[in-house]
Amino acid sequence: MINFNYETDFKLNSEEKISKWIVDTISSENYKLQEINYIFCNDEYLHKLNVQFLNHDTLTDIISFDESVGKIIQGDIFISVERVAENAKDFGVTFENELHRVMIHGILHYCGYKDKTDKDAILMREKENHYLSVLNTY
């Protein structure tokens, strides 16, 4: 089950389409979905979580709390729509493209992908690009 929660005025355009895309992504990676909660918020909301839980006094676009066990995916993914909008401008992409990239990035972490080394970051970006292209087919 995928839940979308909003702590800001932002709303996804197509929750059903995005849910199917995420479920299909998880399945393609040979994992099973238990429950994912997406929480869309602003910078202030996410900054407080970043300080409280991660001791990072910085702005970020996403924080995920992974509760997965083995191949069963479960967790909470907090996304600052303000940060996503800023990053989209910085990267020269649409807001929707950057939002979808961030959303699938969190899922890929739950599927075991890392991005701390250059090699891992390249693979993560390849996976993001692949699944973004899949979303365009829905």
Which residue numbers belong to the known binding site for Zn(2+)? Answer: 105, 109, 115
Q: Other C-beta atoms within 10 Å of 60: how many?
A: 16
Write down the residue that tokens 């979303």 correspond to.
Answer: 135
Helix (H, G, I), strand (E, B), or coil: what is residue 27?
helix
Helix (H, G, I), strand (E, B), or coil: what is residue 119?
helix
Binding residues: 105, 109, 115
Which amino acid belongs to residue 79?
Answer: I
Supply 94's token pair.
Answer: 């649409």
Tell me the sheet residues that pair with 37. 3, 76
